[in-house]
Amino acid sequence: MEIHCKRNEEGSWVSPLPFRTPRDRLPDNRVMALKRARILNKTLAKNPCKQEHFHIYMQGILEKHAELAPPLQPNEECWYLPIFGVYHPKKPSKLRVVFDSSAKFENTSLNDVLLCGPDLTNSLVGVLLRFRKDVIGVVADIEQMFFGFIVAEEDRNYLRFLWHRDNDPDKELVEYRMCEHVLEIHHLQQLPHMV
Q: 70-123, pLDDT tens digit by residue?
A: 999 999 999 999 999 999 888 888 899 999 999 999 999 999 999 887 777 788
Give the span between the Cα atoms of 113 and 163, in whole angstroms: 24
Which range marks the domain in which residue 93 is found? 6-18+27-113+144-186
In a domain, 167, yes or no: yes
Lowest pLDDT segment from 32-41, 124-133, 140-149: 140-149
In whole angstroms, what is the distance from residue 160 CA to residue 139 CA?
34
Mapped onto helix, strand or coil, the DSSP state of residue 151 is strand
- In the chain, DSSP finds a helix count (H) and a strand count (E) of 3, 8
Q: Which amino acid is at 152?
A: A
**Residue 51 placed within a domain:** yes
The reply to whether 59 falls in a domain is yes
Where does 31-146 show beta strands of DSSP type E?
Answer: 66-68, 83-88, 91-99
Is residue 76 a contact partner of residue 122, using CB atoms and an 8 Å limit? no
- Is the residue at 99 inside a domain? yes
Question: Which has more pLDDT, 192 or 44?
Answer: 44
Q: Is residue 194 part of a domain?
A: no
Query: How many structural domains are present in the chain?
Result: 1
Determine what percent of the chain falls in helix, strand and coil, rounding each to the nearest 5: 30, 20, 45
Does residue 129 form part of some domain? no
List pLDDT tens digits, range 135-175: 777 776 655 555 568 999 999 999 999 999 999 999 999 99
The 10s digit of each residue's pLDDT in 2-30 is 788 899 888 888 999 999 999 999 999 99
Compute how many other C-beta atoms are within 10 angstroms of the C-beta atom of residue 69. 19
Whole-angstrom distance, CA of residue 37 vs CA of residue 164: 10
Query: Does any domain span residue 130?
Result: no
Amino acid at 141: D
Residue 193 pLDDT exceeds 50: no
Stretch 119-138: mean pLDDT, rounded?
Answer: 81
Residue 191 lies in a domain: no
Rounded Cα–Cα distance for residues 104 and 127 (Å):
35
Q: What is the dihedral of CA 65, 188, 195, 5, to 10 degrees?
A: 90
